Structure 1
Amino acid sequence: MNRPRPDSRLVLASLALLAGVVVFLTARALFPELSTNHDEGVYLQQSAMLLEGKLWLTTDLPGAFRPWFFVEDGTRLYPKYAPMTALVFAPGVALGVPRLVLAVVAAGNVALVGLLAREAFEEWTGVLAAAFALATPFFALISATFLPYAPTTLLNLTFALCYLRSLRRLDAGHPRASLAYALAGGVAVAFAFIARPFTAVLFALPFVGHALWTLGGRLRAAGVFATFRAPVAARLLVVAAAGATGVALTLGYNAVVTGDALLFPYEAFAPLDGLGFGYRRMLHYDRVFTPALALNANLTLLWELATRWTVAAPLGTLLALVGLSTLRDGREPDALVADRTVRVLLAGVALTVAVGNVYFWGSLNVLGGLSDPTDGFMGSYGPFYHFDLLLPLSVFGAAGLRLAVTRGRSWLSARPRLDARQVRVVAIVLVLVAVPVAVGAQVAALDGPVERHTESSGHYERALEPIRDHEFDRGVVFVPQAFGPWLNHPFQSLRNGGSLASGEVLYAQDRDPAGDFAVVDAYSNRTLYRFTYRGEWGPGPRPVTPALQELTVREGTSHTVRTRVGAVGRLSSVRVEAGGAVVARSPDTANDANTHTVRWTVNGTHVSYGDAAIPLDGPEEVSVLVTYVQEGGATLTYRQDVSVDATGESVRVVWPAETRVCRLTTDCGTEGTYLDGAGEYVGGVSVETRLSTEGDETEDG
């Protein structure tokens, strides 16, 4: 009795659903605080802005609120990226489940790969191609991030399927369906162009070539008038016209945001970024991108892709090469788009993507270093800029596997000394050998990246725990500038929404006193906090001890600060610094041998220590340094930095002070941040501080 064969469409839908679940869970498990690619925060903040109806943020304090990869233009802050990708993510952001969109995009990509494989071969090759896409290591890792590559591929695949079906429906006598597919395909490629213009062009080139070839053949056969009256020309023109709107919208967006239709936001951010050879620069990173370097980088990247990032690498690559042999199969029937033509188009995508990216210096940057390709983003995620190769690798990999199985079965059947039972035994043995090898290759490809992402995410989760555990009610959090004057870099989760006027919490960069007091004045009705940590934040997962400190702004005619520190050797010097001036004083012999107390005052015109004073005018940082010399000559310095704003009649103080314990230097940044009870310090280290304000009997510790 023959069992009914399962419906291939149902199996394909199940694989697409599984892809969505896998990517959703991967995003939650591996990237709970987003990934090490800090572009994610850019797109998510842009999504929040679009939901507020804004293309840019407006603030009188752009230096305090400038996010990573945003252009500062007067009081405006706008992202260097076009809004299409952010628009894709916006529904998830609005629902409060952003990763839901990642799942939908992943499911769509797997389904579309399967449907395109059906167009090129038949239904079960389509199912197998979808399985190949799902099993491709870089698919899950890149799809689980809020980056533009998977969404742009979704748009490109939609364009390809609609283009093919438009012509095939016309051949089948369904002109209305054909026209609808043509329009949908044009819109899809327009959106893809807005998202990533160069990526969209590289993907579309084979289809543009096919359209021109089709029109050229009809021109030679029927002349201009008859050609452009033909239904096929109408469909191609609809695709072209709809696609051209993407160019128009992109130029219009440029004109609105940058003031010049031909100036892209990424060029406004970094004029020497982008396509082409020669000198290239992005912020503090620059290279002379020569054709030789470009070719070397891309060959290295493609080799890494072929040997590490395909299904059961390099098996997936070898199967795709076998599948390419189907380009020679069969004769071309009298049809607008025959199966063989579809295969040629999909193979053409592989060619244009691989060759075209030689012209883009991002292909070099994604490697990290040519000497160790596993060091950069390529080693952790796979080929960002070659994500569209998922289509030809999956389709031809599936075709290659089916071809190998078919020929293997034929070879076994042709062996007269093997009966049916022996053939089945040989097949089972081959499967039992192949499956562990394939699984081992998959594990080997993913093991390193997953371990790195898990370690990095744990690092971020521990660092951000104080903020995650706190319930804010109209707060402002000052965030340290770990990697320069940016928000969301590296702390992508600490980003503002679509407005700088609302929200339970706003994040601002912890800058100099003038900048911080400007934020204090602009948000005087909010509670202030300082996010800090003990340790040095680096590109790798180095452990830090975090803290969230509530701040107060004390205002009065005069403030007195008493700081008592633990003795850790011979007291060498006590200094008070402000505005480049220094007051030093001999140690007070009245202090207990085990501690030393420094008492200083600040008013609206001066900071005083003992009988000496330093004039103040406006916002300034007052630093107090107590240095001990230990046996062997090593030094340990207690450092306290206090932001003050002297206005003549009164003075404001941000409290508590930032306290550090520095070894062998007097200024050690966050590496020496003092957090009472946190971390290991030299024996005897302790800090107690009190602030008293004239006319106010309370003291702040």
Structure 2
Amino acid sequence: MRRRYANARRAARKRAVRSDPPLVAAGIALVAGVAVFLLATTVFGYHSSNHDEGVYLTQAAMLLDGQLELHAGDLVGAFRPWFFVEDGGRLYPKYTPVPAAMYAVSMALFGEPRVTLAAVAAGNAALVYALGRMLVDRRTGAVAAGFFAASPLALVTTSVFLPYAPTTLLNLLFAVAYLYGIREGSAVAAGVAGVAIGLAFFARPFTAVLFAIPFVCHALYRVGTAIRRAGLLPLPGPVRRQVLTAFFGLCFVGVTLAYNARLTGSPLVFPYEAFAPLDGPGFGRRRILGHSIVYSPEVALEANGYVLRYFSTRWFTAGILGTALSVAGLAFSARRWYRGEAVPGSSVDRDSRFQRTAGVLIAGLFVTVPVGNLLFWGNFNILATPSDPTDGIVSQFGPFYHFDLLVPFSLFAAVGVFACWRFLRAFGSRLKTRWSPRAGKAFLVVALLASVLLVGAVNVTAVSAPLERNAAHEAKHEAAYEPIERTSFEDALVFIPTPYGDWQNHPFQYLRNDPGFDGDVVYALDRDPPDDFAVLDAYPDRTHYRYTYRGEWTSDPNRHVVPKLEPLEIRRGPTLEGETTVGVPERVDRASVRLEADADTYAGYTVADPDGSITANWTLDGDTARLVEGDTEPIPLEETDTVTLLVTLAQADGSTLTYRQETTVRTNDGGVEAVWPPERYVCPLVTDCGTEGTYLPDDPDAHFDGVWFETRMRNTER
């Protein structure tokens, strides 16, 4: 009876060992998905400082609208999003639509694209588990999934709308299906592998090719071997399966070329080439927009050396400790493969030759991904100061062009964990023999706890650093969008500033248009008078706003701006009379008033001994503007123009303060139109200070004592 009970307990333990790793892996995948979703909604609630996110989200909205391109017509300059190619009145993104399509699925189902981010995180962890199970066993797969999901690179990069984690999901699906097809002789798995790598190629061609190279080499070897042994006809099973994989993969290569032809007019010209012809892989002159370098092999080696250093020490799980485990696991596995032995821990019925094949293919990524990335100058661009890992894009998102390296790093780190554990157990057994069973158990417990605590502490430090940097950007974005968030827009048109040039969503990617430019709110770039009036004419019945801020928008997360959202209206009439009154602080002994237009014509007068305030009266009459005081001549206006009024105060020591008012106007046969209120600035020492001097009427503490700025306009019939 006791023997039967003992046997039952042993059988139960074996069943638990078999069932626990899948449950653990499922838990890891679930936790990874939840963690990414929480990061995406908190740390990246207003999106990151990587403005590619807006490209993919706009593209996802376009796909849901059945569009591959935007049609802005004559307003293309006011609506052009960041990284969109302009072709007449047509706009299309430089990126292919696969990642955007993945985001579009959750937008359609849940109204929230971040669900896709969570699904990608969970899917990557689950597929790494499946690979680890094939490589060694379930326990190794579960640990590998944990290494992958806990890495700072996976946590941060998967939490933003970038293509690297979604493409790795497709690459992992390809690897799992390919290896399963080999092991089980499954034609279905071979077809799935072809579809997966084809989609990965459509998403990121260069990334997919680097991942697929080891598998393609193996496929060619298997085809050649099978034909040599069995002849060409009838087709041997391995050949049929490889042909099936190649067929589906090449089908999506064809889809990619067709997409190119549809957008760029040539199947061999990718959209990114249409945007920047010298932005692709290769050496020599590389250029995108105004950024250009000569990308030589020497530069490539230096840049990629830094990138790989930061990957292995900062962006993989537990930093250098995790990398050391991965190296140990690879060395241990290679030794076993060389001897023709299975890696300990694998099932007794596991084909050691298949295990070696799977391991070698995964290990091949240690070669193809780093070597291939030498050809891509993007690895140079993510390094602001190459020797400083806390500067530049790499400090916030990691070396994401090497994202696929997480796969072999995680798998062999898991092998290294169990290799080290077997070494510790052997050492503990010697302690039991030499000292006592209790001493051996105590050693193992202490070693296990110390290892877990050390790895956890190192990883928490590694993860927290980039999250803190990104959280600083999130705080800046939250402050900047505050007036937008508290305003309920309905049939509105909002002009937005252009700190980085004439691009939408760069930097304000949270403020995106619907694909038809017909949503509850339409965002237009605030540009020159002709362009602004063209937008106003296209949306005459909407409520108009101007979004601006006080301060300078930079990439520094600690330099916040003070935002302002003000309603606009169009004042019309044969004659418009304006009155501008400004405050005069103490110790001002003289002042000047100047009215000018874009045609470089101006009029002005001086004010002696100003006291308390200065009022300047001015008029817009047909195609002229003039100051009422000072007996000045009218100044001519262009058809569309900017009328600028400057009131400059001066102190005895020569310091000045200028009130600057800019009014966008348009003249016609019936009179004049003006966008009201004008843009107002308060500029110490200079007469033009841009947004750093934006006047904030609702925040008196933002300006010096005695500084205030009032302006009025009325229509006068003459």
Compute the TM-score of the two structures, normalised by the length of structure 1: 0.95
State whether structure 2 residue 612 is matched by structure 1 residue 605.
no
| Stretch moving more, 428-437 or 553-562 | 428-437
Question: 1:356-367 alignment to 2 at 5 Å?
Answer: 356-367=372-383
Within the candidate set 285, 306, 309, 2:312 is matched to: 306
For 1:360-415, what per-residue CA distance to the aligned partner results, in whole angstroms no more than 9, with x for missing partners? 00111112221323211211121210111111111100010001101221132134
Within the candidate set 637, 640, 646, 1:625 is matched to: 646
Alpha-carbon shift at residue 335 of structure 1 (Å):
6.6
Within the candidate set 354, 359, 384, 2:370 is matched to: 354
State the match for 1:219 in structure 2.
227
State the match for 1:417 in structure 2.
434
Aligned-residue sequence identity (percent) comes to: 47
State the match for 1:565 in structure 2.
582
For 1:392-450, what per-residue CA distance to the aligned partner results, in whole angstroms no more than 9, with x for missing partners? 11110001000110122113213431322111111122233323322221132123212
CA distance in 2 between counterparts of 1:363 and 1:66 reads 27
For 1:264-320, what per-residue CA distance to the aligned partner results, in whole angstroms no more than 9, with x for missing partners? 111111111110001111111111110011011111111111111221111110000
State whether structure 2 residue 52 is matched by structure 1 residue 51.
no
State the match for 2:128 in structure 1.
113
CA distance in 1 between counterparts of 2:647 and 2:253 reads 63
State the match for 1:89 in structure 2.
103
Q: Is the 8 A contact 1:44 1:93 kept in 2?
A: no
Q: Is the 8 A contact 2:128 2:411 kept in 1?
A: yes
Alpha-carbon shift at residue 56 of structure 1 (Å):
0.7
CA distance in 1 between counterparts of 2:670 and 2:41 reads 54
CA distance in 1 between counterparts of 2:251 and 2:693 reads 56
State the match for 1:689 in structure 2.
711
Q: Is the 8 A contact 2:157 2:400 kept in 1?
A: yes
Q: Is the 8 A contact 1:602 1:608 kept in 2?
A: yes
For 1:37-77, what per-residue CA distance to the aligned partner results, in whole angstroms no more than 9, with x for missing partners? 10000000000011101111101211000011111110001
Corresponding letter in the other structure for 1:599 = N
State the match for 2:149 in structure 1.
134
Residue 407 and residue 346 in structure 1: after superposition, are their counterparts in 2 closer, same or farther (change >3 A)? same
Corresponding letter in the other structure for 1:328 = R
State the match for 1:151 in structure 2.
166
State whether structure 2 residue 513 is matched by structure 1 residue 496.
yes
CA distance in 1 between counterparts of 2:385 and 2:269 reads 30
CA distance in 2 between counterparts of 1:484 and 1:494 reads 16
| Stretch moving more, 576-585 or 490-499 | 576-585
CA distance in 1 between counterparts of 2:239 and 2:616 reads 86
Q: Is the 8 A contact 2:313 2:320 kept in 1?
A: yes
For 1:500-553, what per-residue CA distance to the aligned partner results, in whole angstroms no more than 9, with x for missing partners? 1x2100101000111000000011121110001111111112121111101001
Q: Is the 8 A contact 1:319 1:398 kept in 2?
A: yes
Alpha-carbon shift at residue 585 of structure 1 (Å):
2.5
Where 1:486 maps in the other structure, the secondary structure is coil
State the match for 1:579 in structure 2.
598
Where 1:660 maps in the other structure, the secondary structure is strand
Where 1:273 maps in the other structure, the secondary structure is coil
CA distance in 2 between counterparts of 1:677 and 1:66 reads 32
Q: Is the 8 A contact 1:51 1:498 kept in 2?
A: no
State whether structure 2 residue 287 is matched by structure 1 residue 272.
no
Within the candidate set 210, 216, 219, 1:208 is matched to: 216
Where 1:154 maps in the other structure, the secondary structure is helix
Corresponding letter in the other structure for 1:624 = L
For 1:207-227, what per-residue CA distance to the aligned partner results, in whole angstroms no more than 9, with x for missing partners? 00110111122233333335x
Q: Is the 8 A contact 1:44 1:86 kept in 2?
A: yes
State whether structure 2 residue 547 is matched by structure 1 residue 539.
no
State whether structure 2 residue 329 is matched by structure 1 residue 323.
yes
State whether structure 2 residue 60 is matched by structure 1 residue 41.
no
For 1:132-170, what per-residue CA distance to the aligned partner results, in whole angstroms no more than 9, with x for missing partners? 111111111000000000000000000111111112121
Residue 193 and residue 336 in structure 1: after superposition, are their counterparts in 2 closer, same or farther (change >3 A)? farther
State the match for 1:173 in structure 2.
none
State whether structure 2 residue 34 is matched by structure 1 residue 18.
no
State the match for 1:472 in structure 2.
489
State the match for 2:253 in structure 1.
247
Corresponding letter in the other structure for 2:386 = L
Unaligned stretches of 5+ residues in structure 1? 171-177, 697-701
CA distance in 2 between counterparts of 1:546 and 1:638 reads 19
Where 1:414 maps in the other structure, the secondary structure is helix
CA distance in 2 between counterparts of 1:9 and 1:440 reads 26
State whether structure 2 residue 44 is matched by structure 1 residue 31.
yes
Where 2:498 maps in the other structure, the secondary structure is coil
State the match for 1:67 in structure 2.
81
State whether structure 2 residue 648 is matched by structure 1 residue 634.
no
State the match for 1:673 in structure 2.
694
Corresponding letter in the other structure for 1:552 = E
**Pairs aligned (count):** 685
CA distance in 2 between counterparts of 1:319 and 1:652 reads 71
CA distance in 1 between counterparts of 2:353 and 2:208 reads 21
Within the candidate set 443, 458, 461, 1:444 is matched to: 461
Q: Is the 8 A contact 2:582 2:708 kept in 1?
A: yes
Q: Is the 8 A contact 2:61 2:514 kept in 1?
A: yes
CA distance in 1 between counterparts of 2:525 and 2:312 reads 43
| Stretch moving more, 237-246 or 372-381 | 372-381
CA distance in 1 between counterparts of 2:684 and 2:672 reads 32
Q: Is the 8 A contact 2:660 2:683 kept in 1?
A: yes
Q: Is the 8 A contact 1:164 1:337 kept in 2?
A: no
Corresponding letter in the other structure for 1:282 = I
Where 2:216 maps in the other structure, the secondary structure is helix
Within the candidate set 584, 593, 611, 1:593 is matched to: 611
Q: Is the 8 A contact 2:329 2:414 kept in 1?
A: yes
CA distance in 2 between counterparts of 1:188 and 1:300 reads 31
Alpha-carbon shift at residue 480 of structure 1 (Å):
0.2
Alpha-carbon shift at residue 337 of structure 1 (Å):
6.5
State whether structure 2 residue 450 is matched by structure 1 residue 433.
yes
